[in-house]
Amino acid sequence: MVGAKAVTGPNTSLRRTQRTGVSSVMVNPPFYQVSCCGPTPCTCCCHSRWPLVTESTCSRLIYILLHVGASAVCCLLLSRTVVERVWGKAHGIQMPSGFCAHLFGHSHCPVLSGSGAVYRVCAGTATFHLLQAVLLVQLHSPTSLRAQLHNSFWFLKLLFLLGLCAIAFCIPDEHLFPAWHYIGICGGFTFILLQLVLITAFAHSWNKNWQTGAAQDCRWFLAVLLATLGFYSIAVVATVLLFHHYTHPAGCLLNKMLLSLHLCFCGLLSFLSIAPCIRLKQPRSGLLQASIISCYIMYLTFSALSSRPPESVIFEGQNHTLCLPGLSKMESQTPYTSLAVLSAGIMYTCVLFACNEASYLAEVFGPLWIIKVYSYEFQKPSLCFCCPETVKPEEGQRGGATRPTDQETSPAPPVQAQHFSYSYSAFHFVFFLASLYVMVTLTNWFSYEGAELEKTFTKGSWATFWVKVASCWACVLLYLGLLLAPLCWSPTQDLQSPTFRQQCHRISTAR
C-alpha cells in the first residue's frame, strides 16, 4: 500500500506511522483546540479521555467546577484560621496602602478577607452568570455563535471571571455593601423558593410515575411500597436523632416545640395525601410523595437546629452549653464539626441539583415550567424519570419539523446537534441566584458584619435559623397548595390540548 503523503500547515501537523506495511496519519489539533481557548466546543477537550461525555454534560461540569472553585475561595477567605496561618494577620488581609491611595484617593483600604471578600467574589461570579443569561435568551440554534460562546472559549471566560472579581475588589465598602446586601437577600430568598418548587415537583413526579406503573404491574406497587416505607423510616429516625441530640431536659424549649410542630406537619401532609376528597381530584395522590416531603422537612429542621446559637443555662450548679449534639445528656454539649460539614455538603448538593434540574425543565416546558411540571402526565413508569438522556424538540420550534418514526430517512445527525438538552439562559440565571444564595448563607444572611466560617456552620446565628425555619414552613404551604388547589380549581383546556399531550408523549418516550 502506498504511504500517505504528509501535509503540514500552520495549524496542523501530521505524523506518519508505519506498522506492518500499513501507514496511518495522525493529526495533532491546534493549540487553541487542546487548551479550549478558541471556538472549539469543550467536547474536543473531554472526548479523548471520556468518549461518552457529551458536549452539554461537559459544559455543565465545567461551569459546576467554576462555581465550586469560587465557593471554595469564599470559604478560605472567610476562614479566620486560614487567614492567620497563611498570611499571619489576625485582622484580615489589607490592600497595599500605595495602591489603595492611588485607586481611592485615601488610605482607608477595603479588607481582602472576611465577609467583604465573600461579597466581592460572589459579586463577580453572579455578574458572570447574569451576563451570560441575558446574552443567551431566545437561543434557537446549537450551532450559533452565542451557543458556541456557552460551550467554548473557556480560558477567555476564566480570565473574564477573574477580571470581574478583581473589579469587585476595587469597589469601596460604602458603595458595595448597602446595595449588594439587599440584592443578595432577594436573590437568596428567590433561590430558596426555586428549590422548594423543584423538590415538591420531584416528589409529585416520582409519585405519579410509579403510581402509573403500580396500576398495571404488582412489581411497581411493591416498589412504591418499599420506597414509601424507606422514606418514612428515614424521617422517623431523623426525628428521633434530632430529639436526642438537639434537646436537653434543662432547656431547649424552642427546639422541642419546633420538632413537635414539624412532626405534626408531616402527619397532616400524609393524612391529606390519602384523604378521599383529595384523591377524588387527584387519583394518583399517595403516601410516596408525602414521605419524600417529610424527609425534606426533617432535613430543613436539622439544618435550622444546627444553625441556631447554643443556649447556656446553669444546670446542677454548673454552666452548660445546651441545644447542640453532645456525648451525654448530663454533660455540657459541644458542637460537632462533622455535622456542620454534613449540613453544608447537603446544602451545596441541593444547590447543584436545582441549577441543573431547573435548566432542563425550562427547556422542556418553556417559561411556565413551574406550573406545567405539576400537570404533566406520564405515559409509562421509569426508574430514571427525572434524568432523561434525550428530549425531542417541540413542533415548530428548534430543530425543525419532526418526522414520523416509520418514515425511511437518511441517517440524521446525532440528537444533540438537533436540539438543546437544557436551557442555556435558565442555567446561567439559576447559577446567578445560587451565587447570591451561597453569599448570604456564608455571611449569616442579615448579620454579615464579622462573619467567620468557623462560626457560620458551628455556632450559627438567629438570622440563619429563622430563614431556614421559614423555608420549612414555606415548603409545607407549597405542598398544601398542591393538594388543595384542585378542590377549587380545575386544569385549563390548554394543558389538556392535543399539542401539550403530544409534547408530554415525546418527553415520556425520551425518558
Report the distance separating Cα 224 and Cα 206, nearest Å.
Answer: 10
Single-letter code of the amino acid located at 500: F
Host domain of residue 249:
55-374+422-487
Q: What is the pLDDT of residues 225-239, one digit of tens each?
A: 999 999 999 999 999
Q: What is the mean pLDDT of residues 482-493?
A: 70
Q: What's the chain's average pLDDT?
A: 74
pLDDT confidence band for 131 (50 / 70 / 90):
very high
Residue with cell 477595603: 110
Share of the chain above pLDDT 90, in %: 23
Higher pLDDT residue, 141 or 331?
A: 141
Q: What is the pLDDT of residue 94?
A: 62
- Over its C-alpha atoms, the chain yields an Rg (Å, rounded) of 27
Residue 172: pLDDT over 50? yes
3-class secondary structure for 336-396? Answer: CHHHHHHHHHHHHHHHHHHHHHHHHHHHHHCCCHHHHHHHCCCCCCCCCCCCCCCCCCCCC
Convert the pLDDT of each residue in 263-303 to its tens digit: 999 999 999 999 888 888 888 888 889 999 999 999 999 98
Domain membership flag for residue 150: yes
In a domain, 409, yes or no: no
Residue 5 lies in a domain: no
User: Average pLDDT in the 367-396 region?
Assistant: 60
Q: In sequence order, which ranges of 88-153 are alpha helices (DSSP H)?
A: 97-104, 115-135, 145-151
- Give 165 or 344, the one with higher predicted confidence: 165
Assigned domain for 235 exists: yes
Number of folded domains that form the chain: 1
Is 40 among the domain residues?
A: no
d(CA 129, CA 257) in angstroms, rounded, equals: 41
Cα 466 from Cα 97, distance rounded (Å): 40
Would you say residue 304 lies in a domain?
yes
For 394: left if phi > 0, alpha if psi spans -120 to 50, otherwise beta; the answer is: beta
Measure the CA–CA gap between 436 and 430, rounded to whole angstroms.
10
Q: Cα separations (Å) of 7 from 24, 25, 33, 260?
A: 13, 10, 19, 77
Do residues 129 and 435 lie in contact, with contact meaning Cβ atoms separated by under 8 Å? yes
Please say whether the beta carbons of 435 and 122 come within 8 A. yes
142 within some domain: yes
